Each structure stands twice: as structure tokens, then as C-alpha cells.
Structure 1
Amino acid sequence: MEFTKALRPYVMSIAGFDPSAGAGVLADIKCFEQQEVYGFGICSALTIQTDIDFFKNEWLNAPQIIEQTAPLLSRFKIAAVKIGLIKNISVLMEVISHLKKQQSDIKIVMDPVLKASAGYDFHDWENGLKQLLPVLKQIDLITPNYTEMLRLGGDNEVYTTAKIWSAHCPVLLKGGHSAKNIGTDYLYVDDQIHELHPGTTSIYQKHGSGCVLSAAITASLAKGKELLEACTSAKVSTEHFLNSNESLLGYHKL
């Protein structure tokens, strides 16, 4: 298979379509451009929302998602994929299996979107490790925030859950929703815990900030950065995004 070459790495976002462009696939594409990689966008759900309200969504099934990816995977060597909002674990596994079958060395970052920032619940993945274990074995990083890790971990304390999960896949536990050490992220990888402290104590909250962070990590991995460096640089970029203005919709610029 001969792929089309480019000066910039090719990356892909598989995520929901947010008409406000604050989150999901549109936000990822803007982030990819700012990170100087070429982004492809695959829709996994059609949502009706603004930066403050979420009204409804329509899921795409696995064949619909795979059909979008197939010609791109055939034509381009895609270095990394970010997966965000997706219907369920069955669809997620089918999509990941397809990605790996087409390009076995592709890097995959998963941002487990369980709830919209406006309050809409997408999933209730209780006993998350049991359900997501086949997924974790196929991906390169999962990026839950504190609240998501709490829900996914069942009865376990959130940091314990992250450590347990890291035996199967690196975990970036985002600290934006933590009451303790707010803004400090924890990367669990190779039996180590790396603390990523915020570069500023004052930020403006943004709709889709979690999407932006995971997309920035995906871009950095595509450019050949090691995981710790990718997470560290993505955190800096995300802080610039958060402080780009005072509204809930951020600007993608360095």
C-alpha cells in the first residue's frame, strides 16, 4: 500500500459534531491546525447544542463511522487518532479493530465523554474496567477527568482506579474537576506517576476544554513526541486556549 505523503503528519478525530464548534470534531480540527498537523474529521454523533445548553443527539453506528474512515485510511498514512463521543463500547471496539486492521501501528487516544458540560448524560459505564478492558489493551492513552474516573471506578478511590487501569493502558487523570490540587493532571504510565502542574492559577473555563487537551496530545504523538512530553506540551497549549478570552468559546492560537 502506497500512501500519499505530506509535510505535516496526518491525524484523525472521531467525535461528535457540535454546531457551536466548541467541542467535538470541529474543535479537534481547529486544534490540529493550530498544532501544525493535518486533521481529518469523522462524525460519530450529531448533536444539537450551544456552549451552555445540550438538547439532543443522534448516534452513528459502527458501519457509518467505519465507512467515513475507510477511504482516508486507504489513501493516507495516519499517525494518530483521537476518539471522543461514541455510542457505546461495542461500537468503540468495532471502530478500533477496524483502525488497527488497516494501520496496525496507528496511535489511539481515547477521551471518554460520559457527560456534556451542559449536563446531558451520554453513558453510565459502571464497573468501567470490566467493560473497557478490551479497549484499553488496544489504545495508547485514555484521558478521563476526575469526575469521569470516579464514575468509571465504581467503589474505588479515583487515584487508585487510575493506577489499576494504568496496568493495561497509560492514563492521564485530568484535574480540572478535582477539589484537591485543582488543575494538576496525573499521568500514570510504566509504573510511574507524573504530576503535571498548571502553569497559571487563573483561567477562564471553556466549553470543550477536554476535547482540546486530548486532541493536542494526539497531535504531539503524531509528531513523534514521547507520551510525557506530549501531555506536558498539550497542557500548556490548552491553558493558552482557556485564557484566549473570557467567554466559554475559546480561540485556537499559541
Structure 2
Amino acid sequence: MQNAAKPFPRVLTIAGSDSGGGAGIQADLKTFGALGAYGASVITAVTAQNTLGVQAIHTVPPETVRAQCESVLSDIRIDAVKIGMLPDCETIRTVAAALRRHPVPFVVLDPVLIATSGDRLALENTVETLFAELVPLADLLTPNLAELAALVGNSPPQDEKEMLHQGANLLGRGAKAVLLKGGHWSGDTARDWLVRQNAEAQCFINSRISTRNTHGTGCTLSAAIAALYPHRKQLPLAVAAAKSYLHGALDAGSRWQLGRGAGPVAHFWRTVR
């Protein structure tokens, strides 16, 4: 008698498209595939983007975003959702309404407000709408340092203590859990902290990789957590596994020469040498 096939996670990304292929929808789908998950997508914006930055943004009409969400969520059993770029308040409301109509077991909200390059990806002030509509539906927030500061209405944290304080601020405003990413600090190690309601903060430490190819790291990490959580069912385990995957992708991608700026990570590093 043959063993039953192991079920694969079905993960939906709701995010913007990156024409350079290193971040956004493209990075998410690559990450899902690399980690053995089936990926579906809802595109919220189309960007003209490469290793040098973002040159243009076209917002997908909210009605089209709604139709995409309805098509996927009404037909395919989705185990986890990763939410990335939401360019305006109406898009945020549209996505939140879709998730209330079709609840899913696990939601990662990567509040893509400012790209690593410094380009603004939210076309209007969306912070209050995020807190009102999507933060209550999210199981985990994964902001970068600039986004963390924007969410709490402060300047970017200058050290780990200040970062943890801003994370506690988000918990106080209703976030269930926040992954505070310390990859921008100096030193030989990169220290990330997972802070949760009614739980002790947990630190995740990796050796630092010297590379300029960091485009899409935030998208990749949040997508990896979404892909890995359905099998692990414990947030710290999913975060640890996702960080290990990203560390390998950064290491493999550090040797790439792609474009004239910050290149992407090597999403398929485990299968392609």
C-alpha cells in the first residue's frame, strides 16, 4: 500500500509586481516554489523597477484587486496569505474585505511602505487604514526599520533597544506579533527579534553576509514564513526556518552580477548550483 502524498501548502501573495524580478510578486512566487508550496497571486500594483530602484508605479484598480481575490479565495483552499505592497487606502480596504469574506488560517502582513532603496511604495498615507483594516486580521507583521518607524510615527530606531521599544508600541496598538529585523545594524551577526502578545521576546541570530545583493530580502522572508508556517504550526519554528532559507539565498546570491545596483537573492539556491 502506497503512502499518501504529503499535502503541500497553498499560499496566496497579495502584492505588487517587480519588473526586475527580485522583489514583490515575483520574489514571493519564487520563494513559494523553492519551499515546496503552491503559489497563487493577486497583483495590487505594477512597478517599473530594476536593481537601481523604482522608476514608475501603476496602481491596479481596487475593483480588479477585489475580482482577483474573489477568484482565488472562492475556488482554492488557501493555507496562508502574504500581503505586501498596498499602494492606497482603498486597496487596503478591498483586501481586508476579501479576507473577512474568506478567512484563512495564517496571514503575514509585510507593510511595504518604503523599499530598501528608499523609494516610497505607498502612494498616500496608509498607516491608519492599515491599523483599522488589516492589522487585526494579521498574525504577523514584518516591517523593515523605516516602515517600523512610519507605523509608530517616529524616526527609525538607532539601536536594538529602541527597535524593541517600537515593536512593543505596535503590540500596544493591536498587532499580534511583529518580527523586528536587525539586518541593517553593523557587526558580525544579524539579530532579529520576534515579539508577541503575552510571550517573551525571542532573538534569532545569523552570521552577517557581506553583499550588496539584498533586493527583495523583506519580501522573500515574509513569503518564506507564509510558506513554512502551514507545516510547522508554530510561529518561532516558521521564522527560524525562513531565516535559514533567506541566509542561504543571500549567500548564494552574493556572487551574482545582475544589473548595476543592488541585485536579488538566489531563491532556488537549494536546487540550482
TM-score w.r.t. the length of structure 2 is 0.82
Deviation at 1:84, TM superposition (A): 0.5
* Other-structure match for 2:91: 91
Question: Between the two proteins, what is the percent identity of the paired residues?
Answer: 29
Could you report, residue by residue, the CA deviation over 1:121-159 in whole angstroms, capped at 9, with x for unpaired residues?
12388794x543222111111101122212322248432
Matches within 5 A, 1:1-254: 7-102=7-102, 104-123=103-122, 128=127, 130-134=128-132, 135-155=134-154, 157-167=162-172, 168=174, 169-179=176-186, 183-191=190-198, 192-198=200-206, 200-204=207-211, 205-245=213-253, 246-247=255-256, 248-252=263-267, 253-254=269-270
Change (3 A) 1:62 1:222: farther
- Number of equivalent positions: 247
Asked whether the equivalents of residues 189 and 205 of structure 2 are also in contact (C-alpha less than 8 Å), the reply is no
Letter in 2 for 1:133: F
Choose 67-76 or 113-122, whichever is displaced more: 113-122
Could you report, residue by residue, the CA deviation over 1:200-249 in whole angstroms, capped at 9, with x for unpaired residues?
23342321010000000000123243111111110110011111132322
Change (3 A) 1:132 1:143: same
Change (3 A) 1:127 1:20: closer
Asked whether the equivalents of residues 14 and 42 of structure 1 are also in contact (C-alpha less than 8 Å), the reply is yes
Unmatched 5+ stretches in structure 2: 156-161, 257-262
Change (3 A) 1:203 1:162: same
Structure-2 separation of matches of 1:51 and 1:195 = 31
Asked whether the equivalents of residues 51 and 118 of structure 1 are also in contact (C-alpha less than 8 Å), the reply is no
Output the aligned Cα RMSD.
Answer: 2.4
Letter in 2 for 1:114: L
Asked whether the equivalents of residues 78 and 104 of structure 2 are also in contact (C-alpha less than 8 Å), the reply is no
* Other-structure match for 2:259: none
Asked whether the equivalents of residues 125 and 152 of structure 1 are also in contact (C-alpha less than 8 Å), the reply is no
User: Matched residue of 1:243: which SS?
Assistant: helix
Unmatched 5+ stretches in structure 1: none
Structure-1 separation of matches of 2:164 and 2:20 = 33
Change (3 A) 1:56 1:175: same
Could you report, residue by residue, the CA deviation over 1:52-97 in whole angstroms, capped at 9, with x for unpaired residues?
2320110113221121121221211101110101112442132122
